[in-house]
Structure formats: C-alpha cells, structure tokens
Amino acid sequence: MKSPRFFTFLLSLFALLSNCKKSNSGTPSTPIGPTPVQETAYSFPGAEGFGRNAIGGRGGRVIKVTNLNDAGAGSLREAINATGARIIVFDVSGTITLNSSLSIRNGSVTIAGQTAPGDGICLRNYALGVDADNVIIRYMRFRLGDVSRQESDALGGRFKNNIIIDHCSMSWSVDECTSFYANENFTLQWCIISESLRNSVHSKGPHGYAGIFGGRQASFHHNLIAHHDSRNPRFGEEAGKAFALTDLVDYRNNVIYNWSNNSAYGGEAMNINLVNNYYKPGPATLKRERIFSIDKNKIVGTEVYDIWGKFFIDGNFVEGSTRATSDNWTYGVYNQFHSSYGTVSDADKAAMKLAAPLQINNNVTTHTAQAAYTRVLDYSGASFKRDAVDSRIINTVRKGNYTANGSAGSVNGIIDSQADVGGWPLLNQLTAPLDTDGDGMPDEWEKANKLDHTKANATGRNLSTGYDNIEVYINSLVKTITESQSQL
C-alpha cells in the first residue's frame, strides 16, 4: 500500500508539470519586477553641503499642482499649506501670480519644479518664505518684481533646520533676491541670483542686493550672483547675536559678476570658508579686486561687540587681477576694509586669517575657480529648461556686458524695474503625461521601469533601497545635469 507521503509527492509533481505546460503554451507569465539599486540616499543625487541630509517629503503623499491659480483646489498654495510629509509635483507650467505672500510653515516637503511639463514654474509679485524644517526645493523660479510694491526678498528663510535649495532662479527683488541665515544644516546650490532692483519701491531708498548668507553648518556653492549693487553677498547672522560665534559658513565655487558698489562684506564674528570662487568685474563694478570687505560689530552692548570673525580664504580667482588671484588676502581682503576702521592692526589681521579651512568633511565636490566658472554657467539655475531671463543673464556673464540701464537712474546692468529688461517671459505649457494611477509617475515611465502603472506605488522601494519610487522618477528627469555638473 502506498504511503500518504507518496501521494503528496505525485500531487506536487503534477502541479509543477501543469505550471510548466502553461508557461510554454504562450500564456504570458507574471513579469519579474525591478531589482532595487543599493544606494545611500541623500536629499537627492547631487545634493551636497550641510543640507544634503534633508529628506523633504520622502515617505509621504504626492500632491499634484494642476493649475496656476493663487489659491484653491489644485494650487501650489494649497499644496504648500497641507500638513504631513508630501512631495509636490506639477501637471502645469507657467507663471503663478501670487496675491499674497506664501510661506512654508509645515515641513517635511519636497517641491519638485522639474516635473512641470513645458517650460517650468515661476512665482511673481510676492515672496516665498521657508519657515519650517526639512524642506527641499528644486528647479523653481522666484521673480518678485515691483507690481505689488512689496519690500521683500524673492525667496528666503531663517531659524530653521535641514533645508536644501537646488537649481532655482531668483531675481527682481526689492530687498535681497535670496537671504538664508541663522539656519542649521543648510545648502543653497546651483542657483542663479540676478538683477535685484535698485531704485525701486523700497521705503529706505536704493537697494539692489543679492542676499544675506549665514548659518551654522551652511553651504553656499556653485551659484551665480550677477548684476547687483551690493550684498554680493552680505555675510551675517541675526544682528549682534552670539549665534555668529559658533556658526560655520562654507562659500565655494560661486561665480560673482558685475557687482557695483560692493562685493562680499560683513562676517561680524562669523566663521567662514571662501574657497575657489570666481570674481568677474563688469561694467558697473567699482572695486574690481574686492573679494571680501570684512566687518566687525561696532554697537556697544551687543553679544559680539568688537569681535572679528575667523576666515579661511584661498583659491579665489579675480578676473583681470593677477595679484589678487595669486594673493587673495593682501589684495582682495586686507586692503578692502571700510575706511571707518582706519588702520587695522597686524595682530587683528593675523587673528582673523585661518591657516586651514573650517572642516566640512568633503561634503561638496570642489572645482578650481576656473572650472567652477564653466560648470556654473552651463548648469546653474532652473536649467532643466532655461527661460529667457536666465539665458540672457548667462549670456551677459559670458560676454562681459549687460542688458539695460535702469529706468530710475541706475546704470551698467543694475536695473530699477523688471520692465527695464522686458518683464516676465511666457512659459510654454505642454500636456502632462498620462498617469493612470495618479501617483505622480507617468504610465510610460512606470512601464519602462517594470512598475504597475495601474496601482499607486509612489512610496514603494521597488527601484532603490534609499529613495521612494516617486523620488527616483523626479531625480531621473535631471540625471544628465546632475552627472555632468560635478565632473572634475
């Protein structure tokens, strides 16, 4: 008599043969899914500096911006004001005319401007403020203008943690184009900061400033700063506060063009690296060798009164000045103090000069200043699809010229209104790709990557051990830029 174990064996063999027959009969078998790439995830591939560990909306829901309205269902404002971890993608391109300021108050958010079909997204009339922790903003444009008569920056934030701003374009501000200081673990990288408005609507009179940069573990690298009167940048923290004593600002591989009355200045009691930046004087430039005009706080009673900062300054290239290039300190710094300081003592000069850089643990791919000049002009700003403004700015830097004089007295590329250079360009719209399951990833891309385009799986880890599926898609759109910009 056959044992039960024998009959169990026969049944298993029959099932196996039956499955083999089905596979060979032409009936398609279940497709094999993708194999996740083993990788360590930063904010995104190419994220560098101290802000590179911000995770934004990773693990959260996907919110689609479906119109260019100031507010309401499907608007960017509604997506920004939502709570919880979220990744914001776009089904539209164009300029969003804000009717009031916009502030990110709920953190754990990623704004992925590169997902916009067509020419991308621009905000105008009011500022975007970053007032939350754990924020990623990529491939967006912030072009304020004077129509709303706001005395504000185009983009800015302070007193927050874990923020990275990547490949954005800021211009036509009434105060500074972009100011980020007194934050911790922050990066501003591969951005274009251009054409702040000088004789505009600010109640204090002429401005035209690039920005205020500071922070504790704050990185500013591979940015283009062009056509500003001053604050190119202004290094500073909250005025007079002891925070500056323990900050760390790393400023490297930036390109500065056509500053007028002042290049970089400030730095009261701060700790700053200025490494391998490229300074290109333009038609408006008055102090053509100025790398950095160092200041100290002169207000009695403040927490940092009469304290010089500590600075490592090396490898900066000043176009047109062999001596300032070969000796940054003697010609680009020590002879650039404001006249109100009189003669700065040799002891003070020696004390402010660091012999070794402040430690950043190699968290930025560092080019020579000359190589950075090429890379920044090729890839900075919202460069997935550069608009007419950024293309024009890049062209003026390459040629060493400018577009226009200001309409209220400014000259040589320092402008007074966005109207001086033609105003906001048209950003063309394209139809968003089909996304059957509404998870933010187009059907064709999901199919190509062996995902199920009928089942929402944005937060899956089918493609990467470090990034959500939706992040892999977002990052793939700009992969060529990411890989090319950092080549040494």
CATH number of 244's domain:
2.160.20.10
3-state SS class at 373:
helix
319 and 451 co-located in one domain:
no
Which sign, positive or negative, has the C-alpha torsion 180, 181, 187, 191? positive
Kindly state whether residue 35 falls inside one of the protein's structural domains: no
Torsion of CA 354, 234, 105, 70, to 10 degrees: -150
Residue 87 gets the label, from left (phi > 0), alpha (psi -120 to 50) or beta, of: beta
Helix segments in 145-300, DSSP class H: none
**Is there a contact between 253 and 372 (Cβ–Cβ < 8 Å)?**
yes
- Same domain (yes/no): 381, 320: yes
Residue closest to 164 by CA, chosen among 126, 124, 191: 191
Q: How many CA atoms lie within 13 A of 246 on its CB side?
A: 6
DSSP state of 37: B
54 in a structural domain: no
**Domain assignment present for 13:** no
* Helical residues (DSSP H) of 176-277, grouped into ranges: none
Q: Are residues 151 and 286 in the same domain?
A: yes
Does pTM surpass 0.85? yes
Q: Is the residue at 438 inside a domain?
A: no
Reported as half-sphere exposure (CB side, CA atoms, 13 A), residue 471 has a value of 26
> What pLDDT score does 31 carry?
52
* Pair (417, 449) in one structural domain: no
- 336 and 380 co-located in one domain: yes
User: Are 344 and 472 in a shared domain?
Assistant: no
115 φψ region: left (φ > 0), alpha (ψ -120 to 50), beta (else): alpha
pLDDT at 141: 99
Q: Is residue 113 part of a domain?
A: yes
Same domain for 343 and 233? yes
Are 72 and 129 members of one domain?
yes
165 with 193: CB under 8 angstroms?
no
| Domain-located, residue 477 | yes
pLDDT at 416: 98
Backbone angles phi, psi at 348, to 5 degrees: -65, -40
The closest alpha carbon to 439, from 426, 454, 428, belongs to: 454
Sign of CA dihedral 233, 235, 239, 240: negative
| Angstrom distance (rounded) from CA 475 to CA 413 | 35
What positions carry a catalytic annotation? 231
* All residues at 6 or more sequence positions from 456 whose CB lies less than 8 Å from its CB, including other chains: 437, 438, 439
Q: How many domains does the chain have?
A: 2
Q: Which residues, given as ranges, of the chain have pLDDT below 50?
A: 1-2, 4, 6-30
**Within this chain, do residues 463 and 381 fall inside the same structural domain, yes or no?**
no
Question: What is the per-residue pLDDT across 136-171, written as a single tens digit (0 to 9) for each?
Answer: 999 999 999 999 998 889 999 999 999 999 999 999
3 within some domain: no
Say if residue 399 is in the same domain as residue 354: yes
Would residue 215 be called left, alpha or beta, if left means φ above 0 and alpha means ψ between -120 and 50 degrees? left
- Give a yes or no: residue 50 inside a domain: no
pLDDT digits (tens, 9 = 90+) for 437-479: 999 999 999 999 999 999 999 999 999 999 999 999 999 999 9
Domain that includes residue 477, residue range: 443-483
Are 163 and 230 found together in one domain? yes
Buried b (16+ CB within 10 A) or exposed e, 27-47: eeeeeeeeebeeeebbbbbbb
CA distance 276 to 255: 9
Are 458 and 376 in a shared domain? no
Instruction: Tally the C-alpha atoms within 13 A of residue 232's C-alpha that lie toward its C-beta.
Output: 33
